[in-house]
Amino acid sequence: MFDSRHIRTFHEVVAAGSYSAAARALGYTQPAVTQQMKALERAAGTPLFTRVGRTMQLTEAGKSLARHAESILGTLTAAESQLKAYARLRTGRVRLCGFPSANATLVPEALSSLAKDHPGIQVELLECEPPESLRRLERGECDITLAFTYPGLHEELPEEVAEIRLMEDQLTVLLPTGHPLARRRAVHLADLAEERWIAGCPRCRANLLHECAELGFVPDIRFATDDNLVVQSMVGQGLGVAMMPALLLPSLSLTRVCGRALQPAARRHIAAYVYRDHLRIPATAVALDVLKTVASNRVGC
């Protein structure tokens, strides 16, 4: 294995024509240059220089290494520049996996901030509901996962995965604007016992069943979809009511649907998950910081 320092010194010796001239150019002593060249020849397994009278000439092996030295040093310089760019956040790539309502709200705001302050950071956006999104993190398919849990539900994660709480998101009930209960500021869940329901992803459906069971009824679930736009459209057509996170309310088309607070109050917890080692990667760390800032502005939804 060649030492890159020796290659740099060798390149300067070839350019300067002697050990002493190379030493002056590099700020080394001549014995230091001599020792480096001897070490390089040992690594090469063959002499690189020969003396003819008072002049120093390259051997055939030396000529071959000289042809490669410039490209080797150019590649090293490019690599060093790129690594410095990563460290200084001029460039980098982050694979972010979010669930649909986060990708429609928190993530675009965070990406806008990243693009403004760190234009060299590229974000690859994936979409998946928990718990599958967390499995993707464990399989190495993403760097950061956004996921939500409900009270009483705890993620089973490897010890090396860190959970970073972002916010609590209030749950609301989505009603057609003409619904009799739409005139209220808040709706008691028990008052919806006779309604048809449109459920969300399996985790949200399980929470709906649990909340209703606590009040002594089983909801009549007619449809299930994890597409929030489809849920909104179905509610708008009078096909049922739905639980909807308050995070999404600002993005709703409120001409046909409305969101009302639920009683008793119900919330879900939103967090980011990342391997602890990845917290030392500058691009990942700054992406998390931006997500925390964006989420903190929405606490209390």
pLDDT digits (tens, 9 = 90+) for 196-216: 999 999 999 999 999 999 999
All residues at 6 or more sequence positions from 56 whose CB lies less than 8 Å from its CB, including other chains: 17, 18, 19, 49, 50
Average pLDDT, the chain: 88
Name the pLDDT band for 69 (thresholds 50, 70, 90): confident
pLDDT of residue 283: 87
What's the confidence (pLDDT) of residue 196?
Answer: 97
- Residues of 167-201 as b/e, b for ≥16 C-beta within 10 angstroms? bbbbbbbbbbeebebeeeeebebeebeebbbbbbb
Q: Would you say residue 53 has pLDDT above 80?
A: no
Percent of the chain with pLDDT over 90: 53
Eight-state DSSP code of residue 253:
-
Tell me the C-alpha to C-alpha distance, in Å, between residue 245 and each of 81, 92, 232. Answer: 45, 32, 12
Asked if 22 and 13 count as a contact pair (C-beta separation under 8 A), the reply is yes
Torsion of CA 100, 103, 104, 108, to 10 degrees: 180
57 CA to centre of own chain: 54
Choose among 211, 214, 244, 246: nearest CA to 229.
244
Helix (H, G, I), strand (E, B) or coil at 56: strand
79 pLDDT more than 90? no
Per-residue model confidence (pLDDT) at position 78: 64
Between CA 21 and CA 17, with CA 68 as vertex, the angle to 5 degrees is: 15
Over range 26-55, report the average pLDDT: 87
How far apart are the C-alpha atoms of 135 and 54, rounded to whole Å?
A: 69
Calculate mean pLDDT across residues 276-295.
Answer: 91
- The predicted pLDDT at position 301 comes to 44
* Model pLDDT for residues 142-197, shown as the tens digit of each residue: 999 999 999 888 788 888 999 999 999 999 999 999 999 999 999 999 999 999 99
pLDDT at position 254 is 66
Rounded Cα distance between 189 and 99, Å, is 25
Q: How far apart are CA 231 and CA 196, in angstroms?
A: 13
pTM score: 0.70
Count of positions (residues) in the chain? 301
- Cβ-based neighbour number of residue 71 at 10 Å: 9
For residue 176, how far is the Cα from the chain centroid? 37
pLDDT score of 299 more than 60: no
- Residue 287: pLDDT above 50? yes
Mean pLDDT for 51-71 is 82
Q: List pLDDT tens digits, range 225-236.
A: 988 889 999 999
